[in-house]
Amino acid sequence: DAGVIQSPRHEVTEMGQEVTLRCKPISGHDYLFWYRQTMMRGLELLIYFNNNVPIDDSGMPEDRFSAKMPNASFSTLKIQPSEPRDSAVYFCASSGPAYGYTFGSGTRLTVV
Amino acid sequence: DAKTTQPPSMDCAEGRAANLPCNHSTISGNEYVYWYRQIHSQGPQYIIHGLKNNETNEMASLIITEDRKSSTLILPHATLRDTAVYYCIVRVNAGGTSYGKLTFGQGTILTVHP
């Protein structure tokens, strides 16, 4: 298994632009999580899905952030419009019948 | 989920055992203790988890006190590649299926030196 796959690995965009981060979870995993990591705030859970349904989005910072999971093998996190304070590493993780989460390698987002 | 307390940093000599403590004095009876680590620039990695018995796998051992208010993660022979941030997390499991969300604290920065 290739693990959790995130794309792109790095994204540099200008303030005000739309940014879309992508995630492919491990096949058979029924939970998917989006986290954000910054030096100041550490790892924060933004939203998670179970069987493609959003369960808890209380960590989504603003309406500028949205996440979708149209099917079991794909999820997106969108920021529109982006702001410099959104600069962070965004991680996707999935989990299934076995204990423990598997994280992707992350997307490093820089908004200038 | 119960709150955990970990030292902000620890050092360990290469080849020696690294013992990372975690306090979780408000843990509930149905909450498990999980350990993850994050090596620089990578996503967090699952290490081990337990409920009340001591656990061991190929990566580490987990010792949970009898009252379950604290635990220790043991890396028996630390290497330079074990330098990372180690997170202790307590959360509920629902049966045999991963359940709910995982909340990370600040963790312990472990530095393994030659």
Residue B1: the pLDDT is 61
The answer to whether the CB atoms of B104 and A56 lie below 8 A apart is no
How many Å apart are CA A91 and CA A73, to the nearest integer? 16
Res B96 pLDDT > 60: no
Specify burial of residue B41 (Cβ count, 10 A radius: 0-12, 13-18, 19+).
Answer: exposed
Q: How far is CA A44 from CA A2, A62, B27, B51, B56, in A?
A: 25, 14, 21, 25, 29
Q: Does B57 touch chain A (CB under 8 A)?
A: no
Res B31 pLDDT > 50: yes
Taking residues A59-74, what's their average pLDDT?
A: 95
Residue of A nearest to B89 (CA): A100
Q: Does B98 touch chain A (CB under 8 A)?
A: yes
Top residue of A21, A37, A43 to mutate, by most chain B CBs within 10 Å, is A43
Nearest Cα to Cα of residue A49 among A65, A29, A64, A27: A29
A102/chain B closest Cα distance in angstroms: 7
How many Å apart are CA A24 and CA A31, to the nearest integer? 12
Count how many pairs of residues, chain A against chain B, have C-beta atoms within 8 Å. Answer: 51
Q: Are B63 and A69 in contact (CB under 8 A)?
A: no
Q: Are B103 and B1 in contact (CB under 8 A)?
A: yes
Tell me how many helices (H) and strands (E) chain A has: 0, 11
Residue B112: the pLDDT is 98
Q: Does B97 touch chain A (CB under 8 A)?
A: yes
Write the Ramachandran bin of A77: left for phi over 0, alpha for psi from -120 to 50, otherwise beta: beta
B44/chain A closest Cα distance in angstroms: 6
Residue of B nearest to A54 (CA): B100
- Confidence category of residue A77, pLDDT binned at 50, 70, 90: very high
Percent of chain A with pLDDT over 70: 97
Taking residues B63-77, what's their average pLDDT?
A: 96
Tell me the chain A residues in contact with residue B44 when contact means C-beta distances shorter than 8 Å: 43, 91, 93, 101, 103
Tell me the chain A residues in contact with residue B106 when contact means C-beta distances shorter than 8 Å: 42
B99 vs A2, residue with greater confidence: A2
Percent of chain B with pLDDT over 90: 75
A36/chain B closest Cα distance in angstroms: 11
Q: Are B105 and B20 in contact (CB under 8 A)?
A: no
Res B2 pLDDT > 70: no
Q: What is the mean pLDDT of chain A?
A: 94
Residue with tokens 């530095």: B111
Res A112 pLDDT > 80: yes
How many Å apart are CA B28 and CA B5, to the nearest integer? 15
